[in-house]
Amino acid sequence: MLILLAGIFGVHIIAIILLLVATIDNAWWMTDTMSTDVWGRWLLQNGKWNLTDLPEGSHYPQDYLQAVQASSILACIFSIVGIFVFVAQLFTLDKGKRFTISGVFQFLACLCIMIAASIYTDVFHKDEADGWYGHCFILAWISFGLTLISSITYFVLRKKTA
């Protein structure tokens, strides 16, 4: 059981790292001369990358962008709180009640990053033919899967003895 708990802890830490990288790094949408994230746009000019503001207008609606930003941040917060709750539950709660709260926090993180990535997929860059989704966008979807697996595992483990 100790190896299983260590494995779950490792998956949770990996999910947190992926969530933080997906939220902070600057590669949700890329072209040869541009890299866009949910916070700004980097343009390659004269051999240097320069940070600019995200464009405004009908093809880049600010309300959807703020929803993506907020959901990404909430996913990070829920997952980080979930790891602290996981450690606290190991030592404080009775068998059968452990890991339920951790599972809820991980499930909330899962929903938040899914919402962020789904909105970004549906609203932004639909009409742009030259470009591709960057590694942060892909990491957001991978972290969705990891947080979902982690939350399901927490709910299954609440029945086990530790």
For the residues of 96-108, what is the DSSP string, one character each? TTTTHHHHHHHHH
Asked if 75 contacts 19 with a C-beta cutoff of 8 angstroms, the reply is yes
Q: How far apart are CA 69 and CA 62, in angstroms?
A: 10
Ranges 60-64, 65-69, 73-77, 80-84: which has the least confidence: 60-64
pTM of the predicted model as reported, rounded to 2 decimal places: 0.89
What are the strands of the beta sheet with 48-52, ordered from one edge? Answer: 48-52, 41-45, 34-36, 29-30, 132-133
pLDDT of residue 16: 96
Candidates 22, 2, 1; CA nearest to 147 is 22
Give residue 120's pLDDT band: very low, low, confident or very high (50, 70, 90): very high
